[in-house]
Amino acid sequence: MKTIEIKNLLQHIGKRQTRNLVNLTLGRPLRMSNFKSMTLDWDDVKIANEWLSNRSSWKDETVVSHYEAEFSQWNGSKYAFAFMAARVALSACIYALDLQPEDEVILPGYTCVVVPNAFKWAGVKTVYCDIELDTYGLDINQIESKITSKTRAILLHHLYGIVCRDYEAILDLAKRYKLKVIEDCAHTTGAEYRGRKVGNFGDVAIYSSERSKVFNTIQGGVAVTNDNVLGKRLKEYYEQAPYPDELFIDNQLSNILLEFYQFKHPQSWCIGDIYYCFNSHKKLFSTTEQEEKGIRPAYYGQKMPAPIAALGLNQLKKIDYYSKCRRNNSQTWEKWCQENGYKKPLVIDASVPVYLFYPVIVESEIKKEVKWWGFKNFNVSVGDWFNTHIYPVPGRIPGCKNADIAVEQCINFPTLNHMCKFPGF
Ligand SMILES: Cc1ncc(COP(=O)(O)O)c(C=O)c1O
- Separation CA 202–CA 204 (nearest Å): 6
pLDDT in tens, 3-55: 667 777 777 777 777 777 777 787 777 666 666 789 999 999 999 999 999 99
- pTM for the full model? 0.95
User: What single-letter DSSP state applies at residue 101?
Assistant: T
Q: Which of 187, 211, 212, 296 to mutate to test the pocket of ligand 1 (most atoms within 8 A of CB)?
A: 187
Q: What average pLDDT is seen over the chain?
A: 93
| 210 CA from centroid of ligand 1 (Å) | 8
Give the pLDDT band (50/70/90) at residue 423: confident
Strands (E) across 275-373 are located at 351-352, 357-361
Closest ligand 1 atom to residue 89 Cα is 11
- Separation CA 318–CA 128 (nearest Å): 36
Residue nearest to atom 15 of ligand 1 (CA): 112
> pLDDT higher for 123 or 380?
123
**Distance of alpha carbon 133 from the chain centroid:** 20
8 Å CB contact between 360 and 413:
yes
pLDDT surpassing 80 at residue 252: yes
Give the pLDDT band (50/70/90) at residue 365: very high
- Cα distances (Å, whole numbers) of residue 179 to 87, 124, 127, 225: 21, 14, 14, 16
- What is the residue-wise DSSP string for 222-244? EEEES-HHHHHHHHHHHHHPPPP
H helix runs in 26-163, sequence order = 42-52, 61-75, 86-96, 114-120, 140-143
Question: Where do the domains of the chain lie?
Answer: 56-240
Q: Please report which helix (H) or strand (E) contains residue 182, including its range.
A: strand 180-184
User: What single-letter DSSP state applies at residue 125?
Assistant: E
| 185 CA from centroid of ligand 1 (Å) | 9
Residue nearest to atom 13 of ligand 1 (CA): 112
- Separation CA 136–CA 144 (nearest Å): 18
Pairing of strands 196-197, 125-129: unpaired
pLDDT for position 4: 61
Under CATH, which architecture does the 56-240 domain have?
Answer: 3-Layer(aba) Sandwich (3.40)
Residue nearest to atom 7 of ligand 1 (CA): 86
pLDDT in tens, 299-352: 899 999 999 999 999 999 999 999 999 999 999 999 999 999 999 999 999 999
